[in-house]
Amino acid sequence: MNNRIDIRFPAKSENEALARLVIASFLSPIDPLVDELAEFKTALSEAVTNAIIHGYEEDEEGYIEVKAVLTGHYVQVDIRDEGLGIENVELAKEPLYSSKAHEERSGMGFTIMESFCDEVKITSQAGFGTVISLVKQFTPTASFSKVH
């Protein structure tokens, strides 16, 4: 099974739920395990929320693009913004680091993404935006093998 989807939406906090719903629906044909799907949706939420809060600093005029490619049980989802970008990606990946610590942010976004995905790639340039690629291999389920 191969499929792809591209969506674009305003950088509004309520659209984080939209991204989760769309990707969960996109993955439904492979009948993912509930725990794996929940983890991946959490990682996706972190990436979209980072774009809204850090990339655009909650300026709802910006847009977020989410592109997903599904090949068998392997998915790659790219979350792209054209916001502020990340000056130091390695520092941003450090657990508990937050550029908005004064706003009581936990600084665990990238740690959560890396915990729930097989691979997380971050490409960013200060002033030009960020692309976060989440990669996950889902466990084939019995119902998928029997039907397909």
State yes or no: is 8 an active-site residue: no
H helices of 61-129, in order, are 89-93, 109-116
The amino acid that residue 98 corresponds to is S
Q: Give the active site residue among 39, 82, 105, 114.
A: 105
Q: Give the active site residue among 50, 58, 94, 119.
A: 50
CA–CA separation, 33 and 82 (whole Å): 33
Q: String of b and e for 116-139 (b: at least 16 CB within 10 Å)? A: bbeebebebeeeebbbbbbebebe
State yes or no: is 2 an active-site residue: no
State yes or no: is 36 an active-site residue: no
Q: Give the active site residue among 15, 46, 57, 65.
A: 46
From the number of C-beta atoms within 10 Å of its C-beta (0-12, 13-18, 19+), residue 140 rates as middle
User: ∠ CA(73), CA(79), CA(56), 5° rounding?
Assistant: 160
Residues 118, 137: contact at Cβ < 8 Å? yes
Catalytic positions are 46, 50, 105
